[in-house]
Amino acid sequence: MARHLITSAIPYINGVKHLGNLVGSQLPADLYARYLRARGHEVLFLCATDEHGTPAELAAAKAGKPVAEYCAEMWQVQSDLAEGFRLSFDHFGRSSSPQNHKLTQHFAKVLDKAGLIREVTEQQMYSVADGRFLPDRYIEGTCPNCGFESARGDQCDNCTKQLDPVDLIDPHSTISGSTDLEMRETKHLYLRQSAMKDQIEEWIDTRVGWPVLTTSIAKKWLTDGDGLQDRGITRDLDWGVPVQRGDEPWPGMEGKVFYVWFDAPIEYIACAQEWVDAGKGDDWARWWRTDKGAEDVRYTQFMGKDNVPFHTLSFPVTILGSGEPWKLVDYIKSFNYLNYDGGQFSTSRGRGVFMDQALEILPADYWRWWLLSNVPESSDSEFTWELFQTGVNKDLADVLGNFVSRVTKFCRSKFAEAVPAGGTPGEAEARLIADLSAKVAEYERHMEAIEIRKASSALRAAWVLGNEYLQEAAPWATIKEDPDKAAMQIRLALNLIRLYAILSAPFIPDAAAAMRAALNTDDAWPDDVASALQALPAGHAFAVPDNLFAKITDDQREDWQARFAGKRD
């Protein structure tokens, strides 16, 4: 048994997340957490809402609410949706928590002591019309790196380059649209990332087996141009973690807050503290402090590609630079983007399908299966309603659902609602067991390597093997000449359902639970396929489950296609 700390990139608070957000961070993290738990490992799986920064203020203003109230409400909405999608977080925290405030101020203090923070008096964009400085998303313009026209003050969403508002070409205020901007003097703290460049590079070089996407993005920002740049970590805003050195005030920095990207990853740690303070755990330090038991923890992070620079560079600078024994990430699983019907998913433009809408039209498992089996792993992938319909109907309805339904109904009608006795397995069964053993081993290997598409293919192939066996064995024909043989075939097939329930649970937890409940059985992982296929003995009672998956009809598909073509309000 090993100990696994798993975090998903923390979803931003400014609205309901879309399916791209879900498949690019929370959902694969959940898959991995569920798999590791099923294998008997000790898992702490954490996620939280990312609540600070300008977009939260903008969204709250749009909703006509104080930002704290808006964030509290949106946290509840996101938390409920996470439950709806069966995301099995041990705790879903908030980056605005008192724990995170304290810890962020603590890191600022130790980084300052280590000489890694410098105070800079600089010129910043000030909007005369708005009467305020315009940090980050309060300003947009053209990216100097790639020419993307809606680059924000802090980062270009198109090429992932981290930006400063002064870098933008043709900038304007996103509050008023005003281009009447001028430079005014203000004072800020900078994290001296450049001083840590060699150390970070060395550390990244020791991370063997990281996905190319992760290391290539990290290397790019380490070595492009003048190399890793110092980063402003404070803002002229009201909402956020007040700039302090631990509990002490920071002279000259009154009225300023830390930049959201400084405090957001620290929430991964604070979230474990929240988990303890909520009475769900008793020791956060054994997960996070290598001097307090976290030495043997394996820490895996999940995120979309635009989050990679912050997790490979900025956050490690915070951790390493502190000189304190905090746990560093062992593996970063990053994703490309899922696109929607020929364009991008976009929260700000309301484009795509959002988590609440998805659950209104279909149960979580349908989405989980399709999204995970089409996860944008080695390149961007595309959601279309046709692909979704085909994937769900073929894999879930025709293969898995149909198998479960045929086997249980046949048994009920020809034998009883109990596993039938009689018959001896022969060559066909031995072959099936050998093939399945190989598939299960393949599935485990891919899950352990977090190769999600390959794992989903192996799982699908395991389902298909059962169908092929059933087709070939044809118990509905066998029963006429050799009822004992048919009983043996059905006994095996019922055991296959149990096996599928266990293997599939990380992908489709509700259907798996329904299968297990119908079979009245446990969820012990099949260490040996042959013996797992004897877990349900003759005489074991079961119930025919309700239809597990309904097919998506062409009418439904067309209806949804039309309904989700426009802009969400």
Ligand X SMILES: Nc1ncnc2c1ncn2[C@@H]1O[C@H](COP(=O)(O)OP(=O)(O)OP(=O)(O)O)[C@@H](O)[C@H]1O
CB of 332 to Zn ion, least distance (A): 22
Q: Is residue 48 a contact residue for ligand X (CB under 6 A)?
A: no
Phi/psi of residue 549, each to 5°? -135, 130
| Complex with ligand X: residue 276 or 359, whichever CB lies closer | 359
Site string for ligand X, 279-308 (x = CB under 6 A): ------------------------xx-xx-
Phi/psi of residue 138, each to 5°? -75, -5
* Sites for ligand X among residues 173-232 (CB under 6 A): none
Q: Is residue 89 a contact residue for ligand X (CB under 6 A)?
A: no
* Sites for ligand X among residues 332-351 (CB under 6 A): 335, 337-338, 345-347
Number of residues lying near Zn ion (CB under 5 A): 7
Residue 332 near residue 307 (C-beta atoms within 8 A): no
Site string for Zn ion, 95-134 (x = CB under 5 A): ----------------------------------------
Site string for Zn ion, 380-419 (x = CB under 5 A): ----------------------------------------
Annotated binding site: 143, 146, 156, 159, 347
Cβ burial of 553 (10 Å; 0-12, 13-18, 19+) is: exposed
Q: Is residue 27 a contact residue for ligand X (CB under 6 A)?
A: no
Q: Is residue 309 a contact residue for ligand X (CB under 6 A)?
A: no
506: partner contacted, choices ligand X, Zn ion, none (Cβ within 5-8 A by kind): none
Number of residues lying near ligand X (CB under 6 A): 20
Render 540-563 in DSSP notation, one character per residue: -B--PPPPS-PPPPHHHHHHHHHH
Q: Is residue 374 a contact residue for ligand X (CB under 6 A)?
A: no
Which of 192, 307, 320 is closest to 260 using CA atoms?
A: 307
CB of 423 to ligand X, least distance (A): 50
CB of 228 to Zn ion, least distance (A): 18
- Would you mind telling me the total number of residues written for the chain in this entry? 569
Residue 433 near residue 417 (C-beta atoms within 8 A): no
> By three-state DSSP, how is residue 18 classified?
strand
Give the Cα separation of 347 and 378 in Å (integer): 24
CB of 371 to ligand X, least distance (A): 10
Burial code (b: 16+ CB inside 10 Å, e: under 16) for 239-272 equals: bbbbbbbeeeebeebeebbbbbbbbbbbbbbbbb
Indicate the helix (H) or strand (E) that contains 404: helix 402-414
Indicate the helix (H) or strand (E) that contains 30: helix 27-38
Give the Cα separation of 116 and 113 in Å (integer): 7
Annotated binding site for Zn(2+): 143, 146, 156, 159
> By three-state DSSP, how is residue 164 classified?
coil
Phi/psi of residue 186, each to 5°? -155, 165
Q: Which stretch binds ligand X (CB under 6 A): 18-26, 78-86, 285-293, 439-447?
A: 18-26
Q: Kindly tell me which residue out of 5, 6, 24, 78 binds ligand X, with binding defined by CB under 6 A.
A: 24
CB of 156 to Zn ion, least distance (A): 3
Q: Is residue 28 a contact residue for ligand X (CB under 6 A)?
A: no
Q: Is residue 158 a contact residue for Zn ion (CB under 5 A)?
A: yes
Give the Cα separation of 398 and 456 in Å (integer): 16
Give the Cα separation of 315 and 193 in Å (integer): 10
Site residues, ligand X (CB under 6 A): 9, 11-12, 17, 20-21, 23-25, 303-304, 306-307, 335, 337-338, 345-347, 376
